[in-house]
Structure 1
Amino acid sequence: MDNAQLFALASAAVLPGWLALATAPLWRTGAVRTARIVAAVLAGLYVSLLAAGLAGEAPPQGASFTSLEGVRLLMTSEAALLAGWVHYLAFDLWVGSWEAEDARLPHVLLLPCLALTFLAGPTGLLLYLLLRMLRRA
């Protein structure tokens, strides 16, 4: 399977996890479990992409995690970019599953947090944490 097909597969595979979380009030434990299984499968795909990348050609000269330019160079490879995308998908879904499991908010307030976590990861997490803090106060 080529990188474009893996991208499409991973992008579609994450949707059942997010849909499960959106319906969490109906079956919270099952929704969280479903989302975490999907996140674990994506994590496995990430590990395999990372292993394939490490076994492949060397990163470009100057590529590193120590500078913005170094990270940009790391992402010049289509395979590295795909691995980065799968990384985002897995972690954002895992964070969304934690929000749903931890939710001490009415579900109507959790939904925007989940949507933002899906679309802009840390933004949704921040909204969730702020709402959670406000509810406790």
Structure 2
Amino acid sequence: MDWNLLYVLINAVVVPAWLLLLFAPRWRTTALVVHSGIYPLAFGALYTVCLLASMFFGQSAEGVGMGSIAAISALFDHPNGVIVGWTHYLVFDLFVGAWIGRDAPRRNIPHVIAAPCMIASFVFGPVGLLAYMVVRLLRGQGISLFETSEGGAEPRS
């Protein structure tokens, strides 16, 4: 297996989604591709295959597990483990970026303000989510994750 090629490919596949979120947030194609289950399903399948290869088919370093920091570190001592971790980051960062892309218009937060938060999500993961929540707080929007429009539900008292 050419691990570097796989790494390059998964990065190349996720970039178009981010470009759509940033430069064409209201296009139908963005809704069909980025806001659908396509990316989570595709990356989830790759993640599952690589994780299973690590767990059951010897595609991991010795001592891999979830019980200690040493066991987690061992996961990243094999290229397959790096792919597992990187895929995990990519799919969840995109999920957060897509959520920001849907949430901002519902809250009348201009795209020019939300876009840097999405970029931060792409590059630094949780930093982008934190930045977006700070934007919402500063605009008096709060930090509730309940979707309040378009059929979303607030909890009932």
Range into which the TM-score falls when normalised by the shorter chain: 0.7 to 0.9
Q: Deviation string for 1:7-31 (max 9, x for gaps)?
A: 110010000110110024432x642
**Higher gyration radius (CA):** 2
Aligned to 1:108: 112
Calculate percent identity across the aligned residue pairs: 36
Distance 1:122 1:45, change over 3 A: same
Tell me which residue corresponds to 1:56.
57
SS in structure 1 opposite 2:65?
coil
Structure 1: segments with no counterpart, 5+ residues: none
Deviating 4+ runs (over 4 angstroms): none
The aligned residue for residue 8 of structure 1 is 8
TM-score, normalized by length of structure 1? 0.86
- Partner in structure 2 of residue 22 of structure 1: 22
Greater CA drift, 45-54 or 31-40 = 31-40
User: Secondary structure in 2 aligned to 1:14?
Assistant: helix
Say whether 1:118 aligns with 2:119: no
Whole-angstrom distance in 2 between the partners of 1:86 and 1:133: 31
Long gaps (5+) in structure 2? 142-157
Q: CA RMSD in A?
A: 1.9
AA aligned to 1:34 is V
Q: How many residues align?
A: 135
Q: Which has the higher helix share?
A: 1
What residue identity is the alignment partner of 1:2? D
Q: Report which structure shows greater RCO (CA 8 Å, sep ≥6).
A: 1
